[in-house]
Every structure is written in structure tokens, then in C-alpha cells.
Amino acid sequence: MVMKRTFILIASTFLSASLGAASDGSVAPPDGFTNGFENILPAVSINAFSVLPTVILPGGSATVSWNVSNAVLCTASGGGGTWGGSVDPVTGIQIVTIDSAGNYNLGLSCSNATSNDQASLAVTVTSADSDGDRLADAVETNTGVYVDLNNTGTNPFNADTDGDGIRDGDEVLGTLQGLDLPAMGVNPLQKDLLLEYDWFDDSVDCSPHSHRPTAAIIARASAAFTNSPTQNPGSATGVNLISDYGQGGVFTGGNLISDANGVIDNGISGTEYRNYKAANFASNRNGYFHYVFMPHRYNTDSTSSGQAELPGDDLIVSLYCVSSERVYANTILHEAGHNLSLRHGGNDNCNHKPNYNSVMSYKYQFPGVDNNCTPPANGVTDFSIGDRIDLDENNLDENNGTCGPGFPYDWNGNNTIESSVVTNTNSYGDEEAQCGDTLTTLRDYDDWGNLFFGGLPSSAGARLTPPEIITEQPVPDEYLEITTETQSQQ
Ligand SMILES: [Ca+2]
Ligand SMILES: [Ca+2]
Ligand SMILES: [Ca+2]
Ligand SMILES: [Ca+2]
Ligand SMILES: [Zn+2]
Ligand SMILES: [Zn+2]
């Protein structure tokens, strides 16, 4: 109202000063002016008006946005809904929430002192959500390509189209508990794995150091997931690893925890872990994020590199005096792999298999996997794709190594490549219990094709199955690099 009155005052002054009155008493307008003030202002014009999505569930929301020229006021209305958000007369964005099913017209009316413009759009509120994932059947177009909220590409009859344990509606809209998953980069058509990391800084056993994962460690772990051949309903392969180690933006969950002695008493099952998680892990992340705790050690004097639920969402990476990026990244993959139901032999507990080319195997956890068909490792952070040949330890053809003809390997170490030898290729303490015997047929496993994302509890904490707790091997001395130097912190 203030603007309008001010304008009229200026216009009146202008007119009386510049224009003479005609003999009939009317005022002759100059070019571009008609009689009176009607067209003195440029006309209001609604250039764009859109609503997304155009089909919502009862109680759901749609975003109405517009672009308007020359208006001083715009009002969006309709749907019997509650409206909120910006009412800027040029570029407005408002959210409308509508409770009752029906077909509605949402209107936009914009005006200035001398003109106005209107537009309207139809919105349907329907309870047709066959899979109950908070996305209406009409927007779940099942194309495998996400376009927008009207065309999500997801399956209307599958609440978790990409099988990552996160429901389509949560991935597209964010969760009902206010976790903004879209802002974090989730994709409803690609598997996402979300990890929050909290850590200790300490100077136990070695010079002062931080257990916070560095950007390089995170990048290395992320690359392994991203570059994997894991199939998705969309065109992308690989798993999208989303890490919150307190790097900023929407990722402020990861944080340093002050602890008296750098040790998590009783590990993952203890009250200290539970209490730290309760105090440092936002409750609305339950059911979505895995919680990675990075202490110096657990169980006071344990030399174990970590602990994890199988399947589940809790894990510990405890690498006391290690500083290697590779060992950190590999161990993050290893413990996360347990959360995703991988075992030390892939789908069995038989450890140290030279032909199970995965950081899940203790043969490869610290040195990384072998990428050139020789069982000594090549430092690669990866799970297995299951392409190595079976090894029958009662009848090994050394001409075939782990990859087949052309890749010989001297299993019994006698400097001769033989076509049939009997040798134990994975001797270790628990071998008989975990492999069934000392001489067995060892098999690779396709980790990437079999990740199980069902270990996340519900947001209320309910679990599909009670998890096993897997406790890891000690870190060999050769990997304990921190002595007198300070671990780089980032
Ligand atoms: Ca649905
Ligand atoms: Ca769906
Ligand atoms: Ca999903
Ligand atoms: Ca996803
Ligand atoms: Zn430490
Ligand atoms: Zn393990």
C-alpha cells in the first residue's frame, strides 16, 4: 500500500506539471499513456507457473513456483491446503500441503496498481500408492531414469526400487523425520551406502594422532564402491558411498569425541559405544546411516583392527598406531562389508583363501587385493567380483594359478610348475573349524553382486535378524607406522 500511494502522488505531480487541460476538462495523455493511469505501469505478466509433483498423496506436499514480471504482489492459493514459503512477487516458491483426496486447481494471482494476471494448474491428491513408499503410483514411472518429482523412474510396486534398504519416498522426498537425503546425494535408482564417522584423538601407545578419516581415505573407499560392477535399476553401476566425517555442508554429523583413554570398553556391544552413539548420532539417522566408530582400541588392550555387526549398521575401525590410507580404507570397506553380510570367505567363514580376491579376506585386508592374477597383493582397495577359479587343494594345477591357463603359480614352492600337487594354500589357526578341513576346495565369491542392504534396522530400531558380532584379527606390526611422527590430520 505504501508503494502504491507513493506512486500515485508522483504520477499526479508529473501529470499536472507536464500536461495542460483540454477544453473539455479531460487530460490528453502523452504517447504510451491512455486516459487516466491504467497503462502507466508495465502490465503484469506471469511468465512461468509450475507445480511439482502434480500428483501427491493425502497429507503430501507440492512445490509451487513462478516467475512474474512487473507485479508488486502475488498470491498462490487453492487446494484447501496449508501454504508456506516465499511469496516474492518475481520468483516465488511456495509449498502447499493438502490433506484430502481430490482434484484441485492451484491458482496464482499477481498484480500491480494498474493490472493483474492469473494462472492455474491442476493437482491431484490420491491415495493410490501401491507399494506404500510415499510416492504416488502416477509419478513412479518405472523407467529407471529419474527426471523430476512427477517422473521418478522408480517402480510403483517396489518400495525400494534400487534395493539399498532405503525406501523410494525417503530417497526422493527426504524422510518424515527430517533427514534431507536428496541434499546428501542419494539416488532412488542407485544403491547408496551412508556412513557417519566419529573418532578419537589420542596419544596412547604412539605419538599424538587423530583417528578421523582423512579426505584421501574417504576418496579411496568411495572410489572402490563407485567403480564396482554392482548393478542398479538405473544406468549407473556401483554403489554411491556417502560419508559424513564432519566435512561441512549437510555433513556435520561426524565429530571428534573426547575420551579419557582412547578405548571403547567392551567394543560394539558395550554401553560406552551405545552411550557415545546416543549422544553423537542424530536419532533421525537410525535406519539410514551406518555408525562408524574410530577409537584407538576397543576392549582396553585388544589389538583387533575392528568389529562389526553382520548384518547391521554398527562398526568399529580401531587401528591404534596405523596411519596408512590404504589400511584405513581397506578396513572401512572390511567392516562395512560385514554390515552388508560379507564374511571372511565371502559367503563362508573360510579365511585367507588366495583366490578370494577381497579385502574381506585377512590375506588381503591390509595389503589390498591382487589385480594381476598373482596371489601376492597389489595394494588395491576392493571387494571380489568372483572371477577367480576354484582351488582344489588335493589336486592343484599350478599352470592355472588363480586365474586359469597362462597364469601359473607355484603353490608348493618347489620352483617347479606341476599339473597336480596337494598343498594347503590358506593355512591358519582356525582353518579346520572355519573351512571344514585343511585340504578343501576353495572358492571365490562375487561380493559386489551380493551385497545385502537389509541389515539396517527400521527407524524405530527393529532388526530383520539379530546380528552376529564379528571381531577382527590384530594389525600386524609392519602396519603400525606411527612411532614418533605425528599422523597427518585433515
Ligand atoms: Ca509408491
Ligand atoms: Ca516404489
Ligand atoms: Ca532405495
Ligand atoms: Ca538409492
Ligand atoms: Zn589412537
Ligand atoms: Zn572381518
**pLDDT value of position 284:** 96
Residues with C-beta atoms within 5 A of ion ligand 1:
129, 131, 133, 135
Residue 114: count other Cβ atoms within 10 Å of its Cβ: 17
Fold of 192-341+453-479: Collagenase (Catalytic Domain) (3.40.390)
With cell 617347479, the residue in question is 416
Q: Specify which residues 52 forms β-bridges with.
A: 63
Q: For the residues 17-31, what does the mean pLDDT come to?
A: 38
Q: For the residues 432-443, what does the mean pLDDT come to?
A: 98
Residue 228 Cα to ligand 2 middle (Å): 25
**pLDDT value of position 483:** 64
| Lowest-pLDDT range of 14-28, 136-150, 154-168, 187-201 | 14-28
Residue 447 Cα to ligand 2 middle (Å): 26
- Write out the residue limits of the CATH 2.60.40.10 domain(s) in the chain: 45-125
Rounded (10°) CA dihedral 148, 154, 156, 160: -130
**pLDDT value of position 37:** 52
Residues with C-beta atoms within 5 A of ion ligand 5:
202, 296
Residue 310 Cα to ligand 6 middle (Å): 10
The one-letter amino acid at 468: E
Q: Quick one: which ligand is closest to 323's CA?
A: 5
**pLDDT value of position 272:** 95
Peptide bond into 311 cis (omega under 30): yes
Residue 241 Cα to ligand 2 middle (Å): 22
Q: For the whole model, what pTM was predicted?
A: 0.88
Residue 482 Cα to ligand 5 middle (Å): 9
pLDDT more than 90, % of the chain: 79
3-class secondary-structure state, position 248:
strand
pLDDT more than 70, % of the chain: 90
Q: For the residues 215-242, what does the mean pLDDT come to?
A: 97
Residue 383 Cα to ligand 2 middle (Å): 29
Cα angle 458-462-463, degrees, rounded to a multiple of 5: 95
The one-letter amino acid at 162: D
CA pair distance 460, 163, nearest whole angstrom: 20
pLDDT reading at 10 higher than 50? no
Q: Which of 324, 323, 321, 262 is nearest to 293 (CA)?
A: 262
Q: For the residues 410-438, what does the mean pLDDT come to?
A: 97
Q: Quick one: which ligand is closest to 55's CA?
A: 1
Q: Quick one: which ligand is closest to 482's CA?
A: 5
60 phi, psi to nearest 5 deg: -85, 175
Residue 467 Cα to ligand 5 middle (Å): 27
Residue 400 Cα to ligand 6 middle (Å): 29
Residues with C-beta atoms within 5 A of ion ligand 4:
162, 164, 187, 192
CA pair distance 19, 72, nearest whole angstrom: 28
**pLDDT tens digits along 315-327:** 999 999 999 999 9
Q: What is the mean pLDDT of the chain?
A: 90
Rounded (10°) CA dihedral 157, 159, 161, 167: 160
Tell me how far the alpha carbon of residue 129 is from its chain's centroid: 24
Residue 386 Cα to ligand 6 middle (Å): 18
- Write out the residue limits of the CATH 3.40.390 domain(s) in the chain: 192-341+453-479
> What DSSP character marks residue 427?
-
E-strand ranges in 237-394 read 240-244, 263-264, 289-294, 297-298, 306-310, 314-317, 391-392
Residue 285 Cα to ligand 1 middle (Å): 22
Q: Quick one: which ligand is closest to 263's CA?
A: 5
Cα angle 344-345-347, degrees, rounded to a multiple of 5: 105
Q: Which superfamily is assigned to 45-125 in CATH?
A: Immunoglobulins (2.60.40.10)
Q: For the residues 271-288, what does the mean pLDDT come to?
A: 97
**pLDDT tens digits along 369-413:** 999 998 888 999 999 999 999 999 999 999 999 999 999 999 999
Residue 294 Cα to ligand 5 middle (Å): 9
| Lowest-pLDDT range of 23-27, 174-178, 252-256 | 23-27
**pLDDT value of position 240:** 98
Q: For the residues 3-13, what does the mean pLDDT come to?
A: 32
